[in-house]
């Protein structure tokens, strides 16, 4: 099973600042199969990034993804008030199909 | 616009069987997609439970495989989850989701339904 470890657990920033969220895998993950989600309280997760760096439909360009192998990053260039939420990374692998990271909570400082 | 809607009992007794259904609207369950169940215990992260294709082919999370059955009803455009021998640890919000082919991500989610295991 590939374990995804996200850091930090909580990130406190102000609107307008840049956010950098990390997702580290216990073994190499295909970049094609690494995704990021945003979840707000009481809502289902929303797909932000797929294939490590491609934005899903309707996702603003302040969201970007990068990385390869075992290290992946989600960057939000300038935080808007609506961006404060919990973010999850997710990978697909053949042996244990889908796993998620434990999440990073992005909170207003 | 495909939409998903979960339904089922919100309370299940310990040792019982959890049963949920996901209705697919705005599209066909027989499209080139797999369909998944994902759960989230209160205050915790996401756990993939399993997936099904319209042909009836399934894949399950190895940690839950012995207790999970996912089935499809093409005539009703829906798929279902059964989880047996439940305990309090199975208390969670249960989501159904559409797998996006090639990307192996989940692009459409239901709103989720809370299931509590308690006597």
Pick from B70, B100, B98, B101: nearest CA to B84: B70
List CB contacts (< 8 A) between A46 and chain B. 109
Over residues B36-83, the pLDDT tens digits come to 999 999 999 999 999 999 999 999 999 999 999 999 999 999 999 999
Under the banding of pLDDT at 50, 70 and 90, the label for residue B101 is confident
What pLDDT does A93 receive? Answer: 83
CA distance A55 to chain B (A): 11
List CB contacts (< 8 A) between A33 and chain B. 103-105
CB contact under 8 A, B105 and A35: yes
What pLDDT does B19 receive? Answer: 98
pLDDT at A96 over 70: no
Count interface pairs A-B at CB distance under 8 A.
60
Pick from B34, B40, B18, B4: nearest CA to B85: B18
What pLDDT does A97 receive? Answer: 80
- Label residue B56 left, alpha or beta by phi (over 0 means left) and psi (-120 to 50 means alpha): left
Over residues B3-41, the pLDDT tens digits come to 999 999 999 999 999 999 999 999 999 998 999 999 999
CB contact under 8 A, B106 and A47: yes
Over residues A28-85, the pLDDT tens digits come to 998 889 999 999 999 999 999 999 999 999 999 999 999 999 999 999 999 999 999 9
């Amino acid at each position: 099973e590939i374990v995804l470890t996200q850091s930090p657990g909580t990130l406190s920033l102000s609107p307008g600042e840049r956010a950098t969220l990390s997702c580290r895998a216990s073994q190499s993950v295909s970049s094609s199969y690494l995704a990021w989600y945003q979840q707000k309280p009481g809502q289902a997760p929303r797909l932000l990034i797929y294939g490590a760096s491609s934005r899903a439909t309707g996702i603003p360009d302040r969201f970007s993804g990068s990385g390869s192998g075992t290290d992946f990053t989600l960057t939000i260039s300038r935080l808007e008030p609506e961006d404060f939420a919990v973010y999850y990374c997710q990978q697909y692998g053949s042996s244990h199909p889908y796993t998620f990271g434990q999440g990073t909570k992005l909170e207003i400082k | 616009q495909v939409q998903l809607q979960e339904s089922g009992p919100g309370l299940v007794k310990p040792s019982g069987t959890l049963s949920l259904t996901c209705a697919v609207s705005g599209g066909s369950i027989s499209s080139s997609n797999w369909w998944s169940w994902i759960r989230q215990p209160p205050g915790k992260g996401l756990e993939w439970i399993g997936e099904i294709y319209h042909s009836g082919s399934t894949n399950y999370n190895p940690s839950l495989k012995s207790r999970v059955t996912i089935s499809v009803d093409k005539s009703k455009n829906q798929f279902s989850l059964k989880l047996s021998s439940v305990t309090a640890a199975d208390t969670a919000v249960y989501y159904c989701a559409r797998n996006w082919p090639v990307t192996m991500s989940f692009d459409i989610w239901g709103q989720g339904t809370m299931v509590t295991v308690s006597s």
